[in-house]
Copies of this chain bind each other. A is one copy, B any other.
Amino acid sequence: MIQSLAITHENEVVTNFPIEDYQSLKFKWAWIDFNKPTEIEIQHLENTFKFHPLAIEDCIQRLQRPKLDYYDDYSFFVTHVLRSNLIKEEMNFFIGENYIVTFHMDDSFEVNHVWNQIIKRQTIKKWDEYAVFYHILDKIVDHYFPFIYSIEDKLSAIENNNEDKMDALLEDLFVARHALLNLRHTIDPMRDLLYRMLNSHHLEGIRKRKEYFGDIYDHLLKLSEMVSSNREITSDIRDSYISINSHQTNKVMRILTIITSIFAPLTFIAGIYGMNFLYMPELNWRFGYLFAIGLMIVVSIAMYSWFKRKGWF
């Protein structure tokens, strides 16, 4: 679907004009939105707007890296939108002299939100193509935060775990790391893109709104820091878990060894006097039984002292 919207020099809003006329009608500025366009609609990019084939290719292909390309009469921006389950979608912008073209392959409430704001809004004078760009980008980046917050909540849950569900929690930890890695591959290129936009000499429209785009850049810096900090927390949790576990295994090993060490000789002695040889003098001793029990006590105490001296208690 292609939608069009323009502001005349008299600050009136015009919608749904034929997009071929976006130049000839001499608007103050115009916005054409490609929302899940058909193959035929996509051809407008080439035929009507004369965009470069490589830029059009980047629109059509899934998941280019966020980036900025300068062409003679327009700039081309690729940005990433995060949808539920961390699915990434692309939002592409072409910004020319007095127009902006947005191109996206899924419904974008960010676009709808800004579109409706313009149509309803009194203060139409303040808007132009860069204002549209800023407001959509601001919304896109604002919606990165809930994804990180949800991961942070899961990590807090894992930190406060109770033993029983350990396997599930380790699985959760792995999933969280995967999600953070995924997020980083959206957030870090977006951050670098904003940095380039802020420091570019070609983008006068962004220069004039430096504090606005700078505010988005602040958000991306913060997001990027949150991602790496949370990844460090996950590896801290895992390493800490491994050392606790190795400590517990060691403790359990000691108990096992102590028990085996004490009972193995005792059971062996009992076994000896359980043998059925005809001639076993001890069996007939008056205090043979007491002697055997005494021997066992001596062995136990010797073992016990040995471990005590080794510091295993």
Contact = CB atoms under 8 A, between A and B. Distances in A.
Interface of A: 52, 54-55, 57-58, 64-65, 67, 69, 71, 163, 166-167, 170, 173-174, 177-178, 181, 185, 211-212, 214-215, 218, 221-222, 225, 229, 232-233, 235-250, 252-257, 259-261, 263-268, 270-280, 282-289, 292-293, 311
Q: Which 5 A-B pairs have CB atoms at the shortest separation, nearest pair first?
A: A270-B271, A263-B264, A273-B275, A277-B289, A274-B274
A250 to B, nearest CB: 5
Contacts of A244: 167, 170
A100 to B, nearest CB: 20
Contact of A218 (B65, B232, B236, B271): B65
A interface secondary structure, majority: helix
A239 to B, nearest CB: 6
Given A170-B243, A278-B283, A288-B277, A178 B250 contact: no
Contact of A236 (B174, B245, B268): B174
6 contacts: A54-B214, A170-B243, A181-B236, A249-B253, A260-B260, A278-B283
B270 A260 contact: no
B247 A246 contact: no
Contacts of A238: 239-240, 243
B279 A289 contact: yes
A240 B173 contact: yes
Contacts of A293: 272
